[in-house]
Structure 1
Amino acid sequence: MTTTTEQLDVFAAAAAAAAPVWRTAPASDRAAWLRALADALDAASDEVVEIADRETRLGAGRLRGEVARTTGQLRLFAGVVEQGSYLELTVDDADAAATPPRPELRRMLTGVGPVAVFSASNFPFAFSVLGGDTASALAAGNPVIVKAHSGHPELSRRTAEIAAAALEAAGAPAGSLALVEGREAGNALVRHPVIQAAGFTGSLSGGRALFDLAASRPDPIPFYGELGSINPVVITAAAIDARGAQLAEGLAASFTLGVGQFCTKPGVVFVPRGTGFEQAVADAVTGIAGGPLLTDRITEAFPAGVDALTADPSVTVVAHGAETAEGARPVVLATDAAAVADRADTLLEECFGPVTLLIRYDGEEDLHRALRAVQGCLTATLHAEDTDDVSATLALLQDRAGRVLFAGWPTGVAVTWSQHHGGPWPATTSLHTSVGATAIRRFLRPIVFQDAPERLLPPVLRDEALATLPHRRNGVLTLP
């Protein structure tokens, strides 16, 4: 099913009409609309999980957990709206004695207008029709038009139906959320003059094409894309001596989680040469089976990606996972840091699926030369002991990732106020996060009112409201 230009125009006109209602709605209303979406999706969990499992083959257990994460995101943003600090309310009182004389200035963040959201294949709930991009855009006060992912079209349609009915019943305006389908409709959505920002999770090539479309409009718009990440891990010799078997088991579980289709999968792991870690990982992965991948395109791309890596003369196959009747079989590869530094374009290419590349290094200089070849990532992980001097290594990892872990593995992203899920290019197209409370920043813009009569100010900038909301006045932070 493909959405026509005429249908898109109808959706866009409805979103444009709904935008002022969302932007000016009281926090209590906007929070209630978000909670209504969460309640409706929870109520339909059995139905939508069955559809999702049929289309994605991710398994009912995984999908039920993802529904809970998705409704949790919606409720988190309802709380963000009610708490109010996201508005960044700021007042400077007039001061005729200042040099130059200062007018009264009242500043806030406000919704940008209708937002386009592109669904991801690997999270059919949490990064789809009612996922984090949609939740944060609605919380910011913007209607949303979602581009459905071709990997789960029936689920997308049903979720959109559930959402539309919940919003209508809760009193939200018509045009609050719509769904379009088809590649051409997605391209047209980004170019549509009503759309004021876009959120995307997907491939580097697809995201870059849409990013360029957004930038080439007569009125360019911000495009917030999460595109690709190899999520480097550095393990020191002391860490392997202290807990090598545990680290090997953790790596095996992490890179095969979800059949290696998490955007935070540890794709490259730097390990000291001669520590025996390769054999420990081989032992840990042998009993782990793979499984079917999400789409035919991903299924076809996985062996090609592995072949491209193994074609390099430095790469060897360390181990395979258990045989599987269908889908992708886990594989562990190994190479050397010197080869990575010389041929980063080949050896540091992301391969979506259950594969990880162990990179042997000889000393800090060898490690750092290879790390400098790593592009921006969502995460970086450092496993070290208190006796290790890792300050220089940590500095390199910080420059290349939006989240640095010191224990555990990067798969699994907590949805919290402090979470950051983004990183330098090509991990994301901006410095903003797509997960957590501050994801709302992507869909807001600042506006200042100078010497405005109180009756013409937005209600949240009036003194009566400021007494109940976090704000800064003449430089002093005030909490209610």
Structure 2
Amino acid sequence: MGAREPVLIEGRWQASRDSGGEFRAFDPTRAVAFGPAFPISGARDVEAALASASAAADQLAACEPERIADFFDAYALGIEHDAPDLVALAHLETALAIEPRLAKVELPRTTGQLRQAARAVRERSWTQPVIDTAAGLRSHLAPLHKPVLIFGPNNFPFAFNAVAGSDFASAIAARNPVIAKVHPSHPATSQRLAELAHRALVEAGLPATALQVLYHLDPALGLSLAGDARLGALAFTGSRNAGLALKAAADAAGVPAYLELSSINPVFMLDGALRERGAALAQEFFASCTMGAGQFCTNPGVVVVPRSAHGDAFVEAAAALFAQAGEGVLFSQGGRDHYQAASARWREAGATLIGGGEAASGEGYRVRPTLWSVDAEQFIADARLRGEVFGPASLIVRTRDDYHDTIAIARALEGNLTATIYAAADDAYVQGALAAQLRPRVGRLIGNRMPTGVAVSAAMNHGGPYPSTGHPGFTSVGLPAAIRRFAALHCYDQIEESLLPAELRDRNPGGIARCIDGRWTTDDIGAKP
């Protein structure tokens, strides 16, 4: 047995304390292992990471925000300097396209998130200071004084990576140490990101123990870790079953769990929009569904189309595009197995394959895109048709009219990350009624465009009602809102000013936006309006 790659524990790269086995990355295009061996950590690694991160919590919480911001800026710059190697590694481990996906879209999004975190830290407005001078009460959002455990997903090796993504940036911005459980689908990419993050932490004068990195765990050990009361919070992006198991363990220990689970992201095509631009919408839908082999949490999994001449033309055009589509490469054998099993459930529930679906001919984890169709009555009656298929597949639901069936479908939906309405001017009545039904069922309501793009904006909500996430009040994308998941509300009642945090003192030299006696202002307390 050769040497294994080190883990990042206790502020340094070191050999795993455990002999729980090893794994290698897999090339999805050939289904063969490659690269160095990474350790599968056991209980000793986990305990060391927990103890080290817990010991760092108070120290990191006391750090000046400027140092945190300097870390983010330095880390973003380091990623940019290392971009060619990082992109090459991620491409080998995920088969995602170098251009434009990794190099021009995801990596810049990642560095952009880090720089947004730096700005939010400097502005401090994420702390939401509120002061009631008459009652002598002052409150704000503050660090948890405990580490945050982050489980990274397989589909974004940069932007959602446990050592670089929004969860990581949000936890560090709130001045909490991170225990990163990176995804084993891209260990070398994660290792390189962790090396850059560790170096930037040290250079910024932050605790080197603010980041612990584990590559792989036995599922039972992962549940044990999630249920450790030393954690301040847990963040997870992945399958519903795995996320709910982690949440159950966290709930038993009183650990808040923020989960992104599953979503079918329904798209409603109203007849006026199909009349105006049906052919273009078919192309737009096909491109969205098959982008990145459909491995997006906002993939359009269900498209609702009326049985009309315009609807028939749209379905015919979309089916032709799927029939001509090339193969896509999924991240893993498990992903391909899920794709095939979930598609089989659609068939068993009465859906008809109308486009694509031929067996993939190439090596590796390749699949063919598939387009399915079912009547509205079947979709409403059978919950199997409302389950997520993670990959390049979508289900068209045909309605008898543009109102009653459409509204009934909206009412039957579980919570989703997104819902989209394509409408024209003469669809206004249906559009209004449909939007009213969808609004409480989705985190982001979209007009006239596909859901796959997620802008990194302070106004973005990448969240939604259960079961798309574990809590409808939070987002995993968009700062400063995402930071607030990993904060505690601290209230000070009649406390001497010298003991108050800077955000809550009478003077406001940083110009932080504060709510003082019901009015948001950047003034000092006692300043004349």
**TM-score bin, normalised by smaller chain:** over 0.9
Q: Letter of the 2:250 partner, please give it.
A: A
How far did 1:188 drift?
3.0
Secondary structure of the residue aligned to 2:483 is: helix
1:305 is displaced (CA, Å) by 1.4
1:424-475 CA-partner distances (Å, limit 9, x unpaired): 1100001200000111110011111111111111122222236621101111
* Amino acid of the structure 1 residue aligned with 2:180: V
Match of residue 47, structure 1, among 74, 78, 85? 85
Counterpart of 1:299 in structure 2 is: 336
Residues in 1 aligned to 2:321 and 2:159: alpha-carbon distance in whole angstroms: 30
Q: Give the Cα separation in 2 of the matches to 1:31 and 1:228.
A: 33
Q: Which residue of 2 aligns with 1:444?
A: 487
Task: Work out whether 1:468 is the aligned partner of 2:511.
Answer: yes
2:180 counterpart of 1:142? no
Which of 369, 378, 391 matches 1:330? 369
Matches of 2:348 and 2:518, distance apart in 1: 60
How far the C-alpha of 1:80 sits from its partner, in A, is: 1.0
- Alignment partner of 2:226 out of 184, 190, 193: 190
SS class of match (1:413): coil
Aligned residue in 1 for 2:497: 454
Q: By how many angstroms is 1:17 displaced? A: 2.5
Match of residue 412, structure 1, among 446, 453, 472: 453
Whole-angstrom distance in 1 between the partners of 2:511 and 2:393: 52
User: Does structure 2 retain, via aligned residues, the 8 Å contact 1:469–1:479?
Assistant: yes
Q: Which amino acid aligns with 2:137?
A: L
Aligned-pair identity in percent equals 38
- Segments of 5+ residues of structure 2 without an aligned counterpart are 1-38, 524-529
Please state how far the C-alpha of 1:290 moved relative to its aligned partner: 3.0
Q: Distance in 2 between matches of 1:192 and 1:341?
A: 40
Q: In structure 2, what is the equivalent of residue 320 of structure 1?
A: 356
C-alpha contact 2:259 2:469 (8 A) present in aligned 1: yes
Decide which of 398, 416, 421 is 1:382's aligned counterpart.
Answer: 421
Counterpart pick for 2:166 among 122, 132, 144: 132
Residues 191, 214 of structure 1: 8 Å contact kept: yes
Find 1:17's aligned residue among 32, 55, 62: 55
The amino acid that maps onto 1:110 is: A
- Given the alignment, which residue of 425, 433, 437 partners 1:396? 437
AA at the equivalent of 1:398: R
The AA in structure 2 aligned to 1:105 is: L
- In 1, the alpha carbon distance for the partners of 2:510 and 2:150 equals 35
Once the two structures are TM-superposed, the CA of residue 81 in structure 1 deviates from its matched residue by 1.2
Q: Which residue of 2 aligns with 1:76?
A: 116
Q: CA deviation at 1:151?
A: 1.2
Instruction: Indicate conservation of the 8 Å contact 2:247/2:257, yes or no.
Output: yes
Q: Is the 8 A contact 1:289 1:324 kept in 2?
A: no
Of residues 120, 123, 133, the one that matches 1:93 is 133
Aligned-partner residue type, residue 476 of structure 2: S
How far apart are residue 5 of structure 1 and its match? 2.0
**2:300 equivalent in structure 1:** 266
Asked if structure 1 preserves the Cα contact closer than 8 Å seen for 2:355 and 2:370, the reply is: yes
Q: CA deviation at 1:6?
A: 2.2
- The answer for the alignment partner of 1:433 in structure 2 is 475
- Any conservation in 1 of the 2:441–2:464 contact (CA below 8 Å)? yes
* 1:50 counterpart SS class: helix
Name which of 105, 111, 114 aligns with 2:147: 114
What's the offset of the Cα at 1:27? Answer: 2.1
Cα contact 1:379–1:410 (8 A) shared by 2: yes
Q: In structure 1, what is the equivalent of residue 8 of structure 2?
A: none
| Residues 1:281 and 2:313 aligned together | no
CA distance in 1, matches of 2:344, 2:432: 36
The one-letter amino acid paired with 1:379 is T
CA distance in 1: counterparts of 2:323 and 2:449, whole angstroms? 21
SS at match of 1:308: helix
Q: Give the root-mean-square deviation of aligned CA atoms.
A: 1.6
How far apart, CA to CA, are the structure 1 residues paired with 2:521 and 2:235? 33
- Matched-pair contact (CA < 8 Å) for 1:147–1:186: no
- The reply on whether 1:341 has 2:380 as its aligned counterpart is yes
**Structure 1 stretch displaced more, 269-278 or 353-362:** 269-278
TM-score by length of 2: 0.86
Contact 1:291 1:324 in 2 (8 A): no
**Structure 2 match to 1:169:** 203
Q: 1:90 to 1:132 in 2, by over 3 A?
A: same
Aligned residue pair count = 468
Q: What's the TM-score, normalizing by structure 1?
A: 0.94
* Structure 1 unmatched runs, 5+: 95-101
